[in-house]
Structure 1
Amino acid sequence: MNGISIIICTYNGKQKLEETLLAILKLKATFSWELLIVDNASTDDTAAFSYSLLSDSTIDFSILHEAESGLIKARLCGLKASKYDVLLYCDDDNTLDKDYIQIGYDLMKSNPIIGALGGCGTPVFEDEKPDWFDTYGHSFAVGPQAITDGLMPEYPAELYGAGTFFRKEVLLQYLNNGFKSALSGRTRNNLVSGEDVEWCYLIQLAGYQIWYDHRLVFLHHMPQQRMSWEYYLRLKKGISSGVCNLLPYSCLFRNRKMSSIFYFKTWFTKMSFALLIYFKLRILAFLTVNSSNTEQELAITIWREKLFSYWRNSIKSHKHFIQLKNYF
Structure 2
Amino acid sequence: MEVFRNRSKSEITRFGSAVTIGTYDGVHLGHCKLISELCQMSESKNLCSVVLTFDPHPASVVRPDSAPLLLTDLDQKLDQLEKAGIELVQIIEFDAERAEESAEEFIQGFLLETLNAKVVAVGEDFHFGKNREGNVKLLKQIGTNKDFEVHSLQLLGFDGIPVKEHSHISSTSIRDALKNGDLSAANAMLGRPYEIKGYVTEGDSRGRELGFPTANIKVPSERLLPADGVYAGFYETANGLKYPSAISLGTRPHFYDDGDLLLEVHLIDENLELYGEFSKVTFTKFLRSQKRFDSTKALVEQLASDVDDARDALS
TM-score of the superposed pair, with normalisation by structure 1: 0.29
Which protein has greater RCO, CA pairs closer than 8 Å, 6+ apart?
1
Larger Rg: 2
- Higher normalized helix content (fraction of residues): 1
- Higher normalized strand content (fraction of residues): 2
